[in-house]
A = this chain, B = another copy of it.
Amino acid sequence: MRVVNEVKPEGMSLHPLAAAAAPAPEILCIFGTGDLGRSLGQRLLQSGYRVIYGSRRPHSCGPLPEGAQVMSHAAAAQSARLIFICVHREHYEFLETLAPHLDGKVLVDLSNNLKKDLYPEANAVYLQSLVPGAAVVKGLNTLSAWALQNGLLAGKQVHLCGNSPEAKQVVAEMATKMGLTVLDRGTLAAARELEDFPLRLFPEWRLPLCVAIGLMAFFYFYLLIRDVIYAYVEKGQNVSFRMIMALANKVFPIVSLVMLSLCYLPGSIAAIFQLYRGTKYRRFPDWLDRWMLCRKQMGLVALGLAFLHAICTVIVPLRYTVQHKFISRLVDEMKSNKTTPLPLNNTDAWASDSFFALGILGFFLYVLLGLTSLPSVGGSISWREFRFIQSKLGCLTLLLCTAHGYIYGWNKLIMPSTYKWYTPPGYMLCLIVPSVVLVLKALLLLPCVDRTLTRIRQGWERTEPRGEMVVTNVIYDN
């Protein structure tokens, strides 16, 4: 720290700021006085802008936010540089007649459609064709009137696209002032994608959910036959009540484990592709790319099922049927007049406790994996940390959960009663995929394989070495 009493007045050369006492807020214009238009205007007024509505009938357009003005479309357009078009696409024609007034203006197209592919071209492209002299920016169409009205914008991300970088910049600055995060998506060619965004309903979740539902349906019916129908046909017992909790608590863990291993299978397959081809410079097949891209969602579905399995398990002692079985067993034991104390089977004790310990640890790591996939957590850790958690901890989770499954059935493998109607029990079926994945992982970790794979991932090619120098991040981490 230096103490200085004199400094050359560097700051003095700066031009003096506008006198703060007389603020002259920027004027923004909104066409359309519907919900969205009104909410947007209210929000802009709160951010210190002056807002002028353009309306066909300025004198009878219903309630507008306090402080806003309303004029004819032409007059409103003249007053501002930035014009928000909060009007349905069907009514865009009137903008064509206004075109002379809109020359050099920035038009923000906020419109959405009720369905995909309703029109041959995107709304914003259509608008640009009507008003070629203006700079159309598509964006903000994901904001809802409700969120605008109630100041729920903080941290929301909006996408923008448009042909004029300057126009996009103007809109981006305005959006940033409203607390939004802006993502530039390039030219108007992206407008259709932006317009489809509000219509989408979890597209990246479809495949994982379909796989999960398919697997659950298969295992449910498989177990229904083994556990309920078999008992009815062969022994005449009615154990239909098992159809609810007992079967669910078998299906959940089975599908959860399979889904978890399906998260780690594509990484191994990709590695095998690379080893076989001897290069990383050839694209993977499309199905593998798609599979890789939905690993996060697959993992989260698996976590959800593991969560359900955990609750179903801890609720077990409360169920009537379980208590009934326990009491029956006790009464039987008393009747048979055994001598006290019952012998404690040490192997059973170890197996039971290991079984639960593996399950608990596996579930704990599962939850940890899920937490790091939260956007705010994942965004604050480094790439290496993310890889460590998703790859190393993920494989450990798979290992623990697979071991949990193996211990469950360790003493039932050779009992003939296990194979009702010659079918293997569900937990055996579900252990196949995880075991394969773990074996593949282990093989890929063999020194000779690992060395080749690392070289390939650093750009080496088996056929001819590439001379180009590259910064390589291992893309397809396992």
Contacts and interface: CB of A to CB of B under 8 A. Distances in A.
A182 B186 contact: no
Given A70-B1, A346-B241, A364-B307, A52 B7 contact: yes
Number of copies: 3
B33 A79 contact: no
B154 A155 contact: no
Nearest to A136: B20
Interface string A331-365: 11111001011101110111111101100100110
Contacts of A25: 165, 186-187
A468 interface: yes
A115 interface: no
Given A23-B164, A104-B14, A470 B379 contact: no
Interface string A56-89: 1111011111111111100110111100001110
A364 B7 contact: no
A133 interface: yes
A468 B62 contact: yes
Please indicate which of the listed interface residues A2, A185, A311 has the most CB atoms of chain B within 10 Å of its own CB.
Answer: A311
Contacts of A165: 23, 25-26, 48
B471 A112 contact: yes
Contact of A380 (B58, B186, B335, B375): B375
A341 B340 CA distance: 22
Contacts of A477: 146
Nearest to A174: B184
A337 to B, nearest CB: 10
A234 interface: no
Interface string A37-56: 10100000111110010011
A310 B313 contact: no
A136 B75 CA distance: 34
A149 B466 CA distance: 22
A379 to B, nearest CB: 5
A62 B382 CA distance: 29
Contact of A145 (B86, B353, B473): B473
A385 B201 contact: yes
Interface stretch (A321-329, A408-416, A426-434, A442-450): A321-329
Given A177-B183, A304-B368, 11 more contacts: A10-B80, A11-B81, A20-B163, A34-B459, A35-B471, A87-B470, A155-B376, A172-B177, A202-B388, A330-B331, A331-B338
A16 B135 CA distance: 10
A377 interface: yes
Contact of A318 (B12, B332, B356): B356
A52 B4 CA distance: 9
A57 to B, nearest CB: 7
Contacts of A157: 154-155, 179, 379-380
A333 B340 CA distance: 11
A9 B324 contact: no
B384 A199 contact: yes
A78 B9 contact: yes
A384 B198 contact: yes
A377 B112 CA distance: 23
Contacts of A49: 186
A233 interface: no
B466 A62 contact: yes
A251 interface: no
A63 B308 CA distance: 46
A162 B382 CA distance: 21
Given A308-B360, A375-B380, A20 B135 contact: yes
A88 to B, nearest CB: 6
Interface in A385-400: 385, 388
B69 A471 contact: no
A11 to B, nearest CB: 5
28 contacts: A3-B59, A3-B69, A7-B69, A11-B80, A11-B105, A18-B135, A20-B164, A23-B163, A36-B471, A36-B472, A48-B184, A48-B185, A48-B187, A87-B469, A87-B470, A88-B471, A144-B475, A146-B476, A157-B380, A177-B182, A177-B184, A200-B384, A244-B354, A314-B318, A315-B356, A324-B342, A327-B342, A334-B334
